[in-house]
Structure 1
Amino acid sequence: MDYQLAIENAPDTIPGGTGILLLHPSTGETDRIDTDFLKADTDNFLVISTRTTAREVKQKLDHYDVDETKAEILDTLSIERGYSRRSTDNVHYVSSPDDLDGILEITERFLEETDGKRRISLDSITEMAYYADEGDVRDLIQDVLDMLDEHDAVGLFHLSKGVHDEVQVEQFLGMFDAVVDLDRDGNVSADF
């Protein structure tokens, strides 16, 4: 199954199973790319947020007119910050960004329990690697990429290039079929 892609300088469509690495500067404004990715040609999507709380994700979706009825959110920060949270049908919580097993379990459940065209946004690998061992994070990313392939879904994975050294960036680059690179001035280049 093909998915429309609304990212400048990228192909108009991508096949199911595609994982896209979004490289961006640490101060880069990725919301536009992220929400354009989630808006187009989607029946259900999951936002795995290791950088902002579910409330902030909802505000972003609302601001960019993304249909929240299609959204599930995995908040990895609220509990760690001391907010008591109870999961609902469309908002899930794990204890912290290094609860990789919990993140994987909720991602797998989302893909198994939803139908149609599904997208996943993971924002961000960088925050996850700040909390957890980078090798374990790479294993988790590979597991999610395998699930995208198995379930004919697509994903966008954020990585802040200014925070990781060149070797670390190269290791993540090697895992993805497609790379979208956002520079400090907001210019987008893509390699598919």
Structure 2
Amino acid sequence: MDYRLAIENTPETVPGGTGVLLLHPSTGETDRIDTDFLKTDTDRFLVISTRTTAREVKQKLDHYDVDESKADILDTLSIERGYSRRNADDVHYVSSPDDLEGILDVTERFLTNTDGKRRISLDSITEMAYYADEQRVHDAVADLLDLLAEHDAVGLFHLSKGVHDEEQIERFMGMFEAIVDLDRDGDVETDFSKLE
């Protein structure tokens, strides 16, 4: 199954199982790329949010006119920060961004229990690495990429360039077949050559 992309300087479609790494500056505005990715050619999507709460994710989806009825949200912050949680079928919680097993479990359930074209957005690898050690995060990202391949889904994984050293960035880049590099001015460079 092929998925259309709405990201500049990228191929028109990518095959199911593709993980796209979104490199961005620490202060980079990724919402436009993220929401365009989620609302294009999609039946269901899961936002794994390690940076904002479910309420903030819903506000972003609403602001960018993304169909919220297609959304599941995994909130990794509210429990740890003691925020109130509202029970809903489409909002899931784990205890903190370093509950990597919980994140994988929710993702696998989402992919197993939904049909059609599914997308996942992980925002962000950087926040996960802030809470958990890099090797555990590396392993979790590898497991998420395996789930995408197993279920013919696609994913967008955020990584902040300003936080990680060059070796860490290169290591994460080596896991992905598709790279989108956003600079401070909002310009986009891409490398999808491994998909060819």
Query: For this structure pair, what is the TM-score category when the shorter chain's length is used for normalisation?
Result: over 0.9
Q: How does 1:22-171 map to 2 (within 5 A)?
A: 22-171=22-171
Q: Does 1:7 align with 2:14?
A: no
CA RMSD, Structure 1 to Structure 2 (Å): 0.7
Further displaced range: 82-91 or 65-74:
82-91
TM-score, length-scaled by structure 2: 0.97
Aligned with 1:179: secondary structure? strand
Aligned with 1:61: secondary structure? helix
The residue number in structure 2 matching 1:172 is: 172
Shift in Å, 1:88: 1.9
CA–CA distance in structure 2, aligned partners of residues 70 and 8 of structure 1: 24
Aligned residue type for 2:112: E
Q: Is the 8 A contact 1:54 1:74 kept in 2?
A: yes
| Identity value in percent | 82
Shift in Å, 1:85: 2.1
The residue number in structure 2 matching 1:18 is: 18
TM-score, length-scaled by structure 1: 0.99
Aligned with 1:190: secondary structure? strand
Shift in Å, 1:160: 0.1
Aligned residue type for 1:142: A
CA–CA distance in structure 1, aligned partners of residues 85 and 41 of structure 2: 31
CA–CA distance in structure 1, aligned partners of residues 180 and 130 of structure 2: 22
Shift in Å, 1:155: 0.1
Alignment deviations for residues 39-89 of structure 1 (CA, whole Å, 9 cap, x no partner): 100000000000000000000000000000000000000111111325421
CA–CA distance in structure 1, aligned partners of residues 87 and 152 of structure 2: 26
CA–CA distance in structure 2, aligned partners of residues 85 and 29 of structure 1: 27
Aligned residue type for 1:91: V
Alignment deviations for residues 98-130 of structure 1 (CA, whole Å, 9 cap, x no partner): 000100000000000000000000000000000
CA–CA distance in structure 2, aligned partners of residues 100 and 147 of structure 1: 14
Aligned with 2:80: secondary structure? coil
CA–CA distance in structure 1, aligned partners of residues 134 and 87 of structure 2: 27
Large movers: runs of 4+ above 6 Å? none
Shift in Å, 1:95: 0.6
Return 5+ residue gaps in structure 1 as ranges.
none
CA–CA distance in structure 1, aligned partners of residues 50 and 113 of structure 2: 22
Shift in Å, 1:135: 0.3
Give the number of aligned pairs: 192
CA–CA distance in structure 2, aligned partners of residues 162 and 128 of structure 1: 15
CA–CA distance in structure 1, aligned partners of residues 22 and 77 of structure 2: 21
Q: Is the 8 A contact 1:3 1:14 kept in 2?
A: yes
